[in-house]
Structure 1
Amino acid sequence: MGREQRRPWKYLLFLLAALALFLNGCSTIEPLRTLDLKSELREADSAHQQGRYNRALQLYTSVLEASGNQQPADLALYRLGILYIDPGNPSADIKTALDYLGRLVREFPESRYALDARVLTAKLKDLEKLRRTLWVYSEIKPYQYFRYTGSFRQTLKRYSEVLQEGAEKPLSDLALFNLGILYVYSERERNFNKALGYFKRLIKEFPESSRIDEARAWVKTLEIILKLSRIEVEMEKKKKELIE
């Protein structure tokens, strides 16, 4: 009789143990899934670093879709933004990058990546504005005034001699202008900072020069190019820091 009375308790304990195991299993599903997604993110980062952009896009998108409105969706959005501003990516597109970064800020305003996304968004908008401005100035084709008649060193030496000799204005004027052009168009010796210096010197020393308008246009163009370069260097550095 006693044995029969104890049997229901044994069944009850068995059911409670089974329920506890079930609940414990449920509680580990989400952390395990999060670990899987983080592992997938690491694989995506590796693919990005190796230049396998399509694979990285596939993995980042997979993580984003699987995460829903939970972490690490915020990191996936940020990585997608970075992927689309990578200059090595054939599918790089600033508008798409801005879309992902904007979504991160809207959907995850408290995310640790939200502030970085805001900073990058501001830089990208500046970059787009500068690119549009540069496009306007790119219509100027001053190379028609420059004929490369020898090696870089020989040409540089000749123009420098003209300046040192204190030649009449038309020759010094032309020498400064062509020195600027030389440093813009020489593929092996290109130096936009030096070119900018020559054009600025022309403007300062020969304000009545027939080349003054062209020199001013080149100053604006080169300043934009140099600013773009600085922004791109900053973004590249930021990208490496985030991936590492």
Structure 2
Amino acid sequence: MGRKHIRARKHICLCIAGLILFSFSGCATLKDIEKRQAARKNLFHSRELLTEGNFNEALRENRKILSLFVKSPPGDEALFNIALIYAHYDNPEKDYKKSIAYFTRLIEEYPQSPEAEQAKIWVNVLRVIEKPKAKKVKIVERKTTNKNLIRSQKLLARGNYKGALKENMKVLDLPESSFRDEAFFNIALIYAHYDNPEKDYKKSLFYLSRLIKDYPESTLTEQARIWLDVLNVIEKSKQVDIEIEKKKKELTR
């Protein structure tokens, strides 16, 4: 009889222990779900802040996520957002080196993340942007070999986008010109320029595609491919912003 009681007590103890463990496990899972839901809200809020041009607050929201999710999703999204904020053309504190560092961290820490491929594209583009700072003289020498391109460069520096566009179009009007690839590239960048009041990413994509198709051997083709990828990413992000606006309207109904 005594042994039966002991066995029964052991069985009860094991059941209680199991229930306690299950309870703790359930609580942990619930907390994890709540934490992830909160992170999603932070991500959504950070996007809203970004569309409003509130870069510092958007950074803060993403850093909150990053502190809670180290090497686990949605930490990858937070890293991606931080990198984009530092690369954003309207950000008065933009820093391409920091942006590259965060994109690189994303690639290294989250190689399987859906954001990793886009991060690689951005790293390439930002490096392309950074290179002229170190090799300015070399680039100027290349561009000064054509009078129209010299004028377009000067006009662009003054913010005269229409004038710069016109000069590059003149080069395209010369079928035998050896500078047509450069003109295609310049036109694409003019249409993609953040300060251009008539910027048009679709036109930019068109001219980049023409460059790649018509001049596959050009030294600018690889850069054109990178820009093509980036502009496609930007176009997709526009769609995300539209969806955010739709949701905001739905919530206010």
Q: Does TM, normalized by the shorter one, top 0.5?
A: yes
- For 1:184, which of 155, 171, 178 is the aligned residue? 155
Match of 1:52 in 2: 54
Q: Percent identity?
A: 19
C-alpha distance in structure 1 between counterparts of 2:95 and 2:136, whole Å: 18
Partner Cα separation in structure 2 for residue 80 and residue 74 of structure 1: 10
Partner of 2:25: 23
The aligned counterpart of 2:92 is 90
Q: Equivalents in 1 of 2:70, 2:42: separation in Å?
A: 15
Matches within 5 A, 1:145-224: 184=155, 190-198=162-170
Cα distance, 1:43 vs structure 2: 1.1
Larger Rg over CA atoms: 1
Partners of 2:25 and 2:231 in 1: CA distance: 51
Cα distance, 1:238 vs. partner?
Answer: 4.7
Distance 1:242 1:75, change over 3 A: farther
8 A Cα contact 1:137 1:221, kept in partner = no
Give the TM-score normalised by the residue count of structure 2: 0.57
Give the conservation status (yes or no) of the 8 Å contact 1:84–1:97. Answer: yes
Amino acid paired to 1:95: K
1:187 to partner: Cα distance: 6.2
Q: Quick one: distance in 2 between partners of 1:58 and 1:196? A: 42
Tell me what 1:237 maps to: 235
Q: Which residue pairs with 2:213 in the alignment?
A: none
Residue 184 of structure 1 aligns with an amino acid whose one-letter code is L
Q: CA deviation at 1:113?
A: 1.0
**Normalising by structure 1, what TM-score?**
0.59
| Matches of 1:238 and 1:130, distance apart in 2 | 28
* Unaligned stretches of 5+ residues in structure 2: 193-203, 205-226, 244-253
Alignment: residue pair count: 188
1:38 aligns with: 40
CA separation in 2, counterparts of 1:200 and 1:26? Answer: 64
1: CA distance between counterparts of 2:29 and 2:173? 72
**Equivalent in the alignment of 2:66:** 64
Once the two structures are superposed, residues 161-201 of structure 1 have per-residue CA deviations (whole angstroms, 9 ceiling, x without a partner) of: xxxxxxxxxxxxxxx97xx57x9378677232311244677
SS of residue matched to 2:87:
coil
The 1-side partners of 2:81 and 2:239 are apart by: 12
RMSD: 4.2
Supply the distance in 1 between the matched residues of 2:65 and 2:75 (Cα, whole angstroms).
Answer: 7
1:109-149, Cα deviation, whole Å (9 max, x unpaired)? 1111111111222222223235655676679xx9xxxxxxx
